[in-house]
Amino acid sequence: MGNPQSAIAAAPPPAGAPEEVRHTQSEGAVNRLRAALTAATLLTAGGALARAQAVDSVPAERLAARRWFADAKFGLFIHWGVYSQLGAGEWVMHNRKIAVADYEWLATTFNPAKFDAVAWVALAQRAGVRYITITSRHHDGFSMFKTGATRYNIADWTPFRRDPLHELADACHAAGIKLFFYYSQLDWHHPDYWPRGGTAWNNGRPDQGDWSRYLAFMNAQLTELLTRYGDVGGIWFDGMWDKPDAPWQLDTTYGLIHRLQPGALVVPNHHQRPRPGEDVQTFEQDLPGANSAGFNTSYVSGDLPLETSLTMNGSWGFNITDKEFKSVRTLVGYLVRAAGNGANLLLNIGPRPDGTISPEFTARLDSLGAWLAVYGTAIYGTRRGPVSPRGWGATTRRGDTVFVHVLDWPDPLLPLPPLGARIRTAYLLRGRAAVPVVETAVGVTLAVPPASADEPDRVIVVVTSGSSASNRPGR
């Protein structure tokens, strides 16, 4: 590319102007544009310095936790609560305009007697997930753990009389799986969630409330979650989008989390650009920056680890009529494209109200685990590769090794742009058969073998002589 200043200097002055005016105007324009370029350069450098300083100000324990998260790549999301009894998804209280008093009665009948935390974690292990994120409290305001902040919780309000999150935490710790708590900032039950947001109006709550008291209630529950359940991976927030302009006092809440557990990550699902104190940028039902869902930000952080949350069918909570389950091939594609974007995949299941998990979920998780047992080296611990995700697939990388994930490419030759380093060797991950490569000044061509019926992703391992790609957590 040419020097921008050379191009500016060559720009012609206005036609018909006197020579001295033409010279003065041309020189003035050049000086102004040069000044603008200098300012832009300083601004860019200042932004980079600010980012570096922001990272430097994050304690080492949190930075290590972010790196662990970026390496994990695969998590299991669990939406489970009183709403599961109605079999119509987690928004049923809002969608069917159920009054608070009626929903409170429904909660008195919740008795998931077949819940088995050890069995849930064993399923997660077979699936190859590295962490679990479970709803501690959803928008319905019902707490799925023993809490002193309200009697409206599973241990005090229901015949179950147990704390399933405590049992799950014990099972996760024994298995070496990180546990994150989903926590809804939106509450359709609490009277102090006032003024109301954009959902669940006219459900029997009083038309008044004390916002500061509500914030204190949330922080009291967060304190319990971070002090009674051992090591916690982080808090996964949701619902701030219901009242995005409310005085949430996030500095106080985030500071509380990081003080109680310095390695706990703050994962906010607010659909906005990341804010100070947040550790992960997550995208709901979307790949980073794509905004195909229509409510996520298109901004993608270059400094934070990334995550994509996804339903396995079309619902988060148990939905007895939703049989539109994604195929294993489709789910592998989501996992690969998420990793190719430098993101984790947080894949959701909605257990039944009795605490068991539908076979549609378990079969797909077992199949993903079998796939990862063979191809996990191309997913776990990787960062986004030198070629951004395309229609045919994606690339991931670890050090000098690039993994080319061919998801959908019918031709025997796959052309790629330059990988940024010379290729030493290339081979199939499964079977390790050599893959012919042609390198030119304009790119690389790989010989792609035909796909077999049981192979949703043909992974080609490309070992290079070095890479200049970023090592930041989100990339």
Looking up residue 433, the CATH number of its domain turns out to be 2.60.40.1180
Strand ordering across the sheet containing 437-440: 413-416, 443-447, 437-440
285 and 401 in one domain? no
Question: Measuring CA to CA, how many Å separate 321 from each of 29, 100, 223, 324?
Answer: 67, 25, 37, 9
Question: Measuring CA to CA, how many Å separate 352 from each of 114, 240, 382?
Answer: 10, 27, 34
284 and 255 in one domain? yes
In a domain, 246, yes or no: yes
Site of tokens 């219901």: 242
**In the listed set 56, 74, 92, which residue is the last one of a domain according to the structure?**
56
In a domain, 401, yes or no: yes
- Work out the angle between the directed axes of helices 328-340 and 359-375 (0-180°, nearest 10): 50
**Burial class (CB within 10 angstroms; exposed 0-12, middle 13-18, buried 19+) of 151:** exposed
Distance between CA atoms of residues 100 and 144, nearest Å: 17
Tell me what percent of the residues of the chain surpass a pLDDT of 90: 83
Contacts of 353 (CB under 8 A, 6+ apart): 84, 85, 87, 110, 112, 318
**270-286: average pLDDT:** 97
**Most confidently modeled of 108-122, 188-202, 435-449?**
108-122
**Tokens linked to 47:** 């932004």
**In the listed set 12, 36, 56, which residue is the last one of a domain according to the structure?**
56
Longest Cα–Cα distance of the chain, Å, equals 93
**279-295: average pLDDT:** 93
83 and 31 in one domain? no
Q: Give the lowest-confidence range in 42-46, 293-297, 305-309, 357-361.
A: 42-46
Angle formed at CA 280 by CA 332 and CA 231, multiple of 5 degrees: 95
In a domain, 474, yes or no: no
**Domain containing residue 106: CATH number:** 3.20.20.80
121 and 256 in one domain? yes
In a domain, 309, yes or no: yes
The pTM of the full predicted model, rounded to 2 decimals, is 0.87
Q: Tell me the per-residue pLDDT of 353-394, one tens digit each, with 9 for 90 and over.
A: 999 999 999 999 999 999 999 999 999 999 999 999 999 999
28 and 141 in one domain? no
Print the domain residue range for 36.
4-56
197 and 114 in one domain? yes
Q: How many helices (H) and strands (E) does the chain have?
A: 12, 16
286 pLDDT higher than 50? yes
202 pLDDT higher than 50? yes
Tell me what percent of the residues of the chain surpass a pLDDT of 70: 86
In a domain, 280, yes or no: yes
30 and 135 in one domain? no
Q: Give the lowest-confidence range in 13-17, 46-50, 200-204, 420-424.
A: 13-17
**41-63: average pLDDT:** 59
In a domain, 337, yes or no: yes
449 and 396 in one domain? yes
Question: Measuring CA to CA, how many Å separate 134 from each of 79, 183, 431?
Answer: 6, 9, 37
In a domain, 289, yes or no: yes
Mean pLDDT in the chain?
A: 89
75 and 39 in one domain? no
- Please state the domain count of the chain: 3
290 and 425 in one domain? no
**In the listed set 355, 378, 401, which residue is the last one of a domain according to the structure?**
378
451 and 336 in one domain? no
In a domain, 475, yes or no: no
**445-452: average pLDDT:** 92
422 and 374 in one domain? no
